[in-house]
Amino acid sequence: MSTSHPGDWVLLNIHAYLGKRRNATTASATTRDHQTIEGPPPFSPASSARRKISSFSVSPSIVNPTTSPRQKTPDYFIYRAHTKREPSLQRLSRPHPFFHDDDVGLLSRGHHYTIAALIATPTLNVFHLHRFHSEIGTWTYTKVSVGEPQQSGFPSLLIPNNCSRLLHHDTSTVMAIGGEGGTMGWVDLWRGILFCDLLRDEPTLRAVPLPLPLDLVSCNNGLGVQLGCPNSRRAIAFIKKGGSNTEDCLKLVHLEANATRHSPP
């Protein structure tokens, strides 16, 4: 990648390491128990080696959570690379309650950013929305809900017991859409997307269905199969085309695996 015309994003190493490996992109910070770490990710100590995207320009992005042996919940850091000064690594205030990595997304807004986590509650279709706006510097909490699936665009379909995973939203990935309202989408790749405008004073959820995996629901003589993690079968991307004659869109890929058992010779 040319250093004179850097791209907007760069994918960094996905493997954690121990020890110091500094270069021009390295920044330092401390955990809440005063241990020194270095980024960009992955970094140590005891880094959870998840793949993350970090910004190569001034736009920010979540880098990686890190947990020391004495910590029960991870710290979260923002890594920012700058063109005119050294990169920085900033520890965020501790989120409460703790959320899983798959529940959280980051919306870049020029020199500011918003982090949001959507956490399910015991009540169906009711969620807790936690937001962190960089210009405010603290987490805020809002209860948000979405209508019943039949009222939210999801088709009415008899779901067999083996496919009961389709009856509730379980986030697979989070997409930052942006726009005036700062839209973010929490994607359940088997079921649908919950969109939320993070910059609204009173955010609400909008449910958009994805094509159901009818091949898995209808197989096994109508009994269906257990639906596990969809990441090996499905993927989705937000395509920002730009231009006055083109429209942004979402593209979903679904893989149907067909296998034939051969008898031994």
- The whole-angstrom separation of Cα 236 and Cα 212 is 14
Q: What would the pLDDT profile of 74-88 be if each residue is shown by its tens digit?
A: 777 777 777 777 777
Q: Supply the pLDDT for residue 240.
A: 80
3-state secondary structure the chain: CCCCCCCCEEECCCCCCCCCCCCCCCEEEECCCCCEEEECCCCCCCECCCCCEEECCCCCEECCCECCCCCCCCECEEEECCCCCCCEEEECCCCCCCCCHHHEEEEEECCEEEEEEEEECCCCCEEEEEEEECCCCCEEEEEEECCCHHHCCCCCCCCCHHHHHHHCCCCCEEEEEECCCCEEEEEECCCEEEEEECCCCCCCEEEEECCCCHHHHHCCCCCCCCCCCHHHCEEEEEECCCCCCCCCEEEEEECCCCCCCCCCC
- The whole-angstrom separation of Cα 32 and Cα 76 is 10
- The whole-angstrom separation of Cα 243 and Cα 160 is 45
- The whole-angstrom separation of Cα 149 and Cα 166 is 10
Place of tokens 């960094």: 12
Burial class (CB in 10 A: 0-12, 13-18, 19+), 106: buried
Q: Supply the pLDDT for residue 4.
A: 40
Going by C-beta distance under 8 Å and a sequence separation of 6 or more, which residues neighbour residue 42? 12, 13, 14, 15, 16, 17, 49, 64
> What does the angle CA 157 – CA 160 – CA 164 come to, to the nearest 5 degrees?
90
Q: What would the pLDDT profile of 181-222 be if each residue is shown by its tens digit?
A: 999 999 999 999 999 999 999 999 999 999 988 888 888 888
Q: What would the pLDDT profile of 140-159 be if each residue is shown by its tens digit?
A: 999 999 865 444 445 567 88
Burial class (CB in 10 A: 0-12, 13-18, 19+), 104: buried
Q: Supply the pLDDT for residue 14.
A: 41
> What does the angle CA 155 – CA 157 – CA 158 come to, to the nearest 5 degrees?
165
- The whole-angstrom separation of Cα 92 and Cα 31 is 10
Low-confidence ranges of the chain (pLDDT < 50): 1-18, 41-69, 149-153
pTM of the model: 0.76
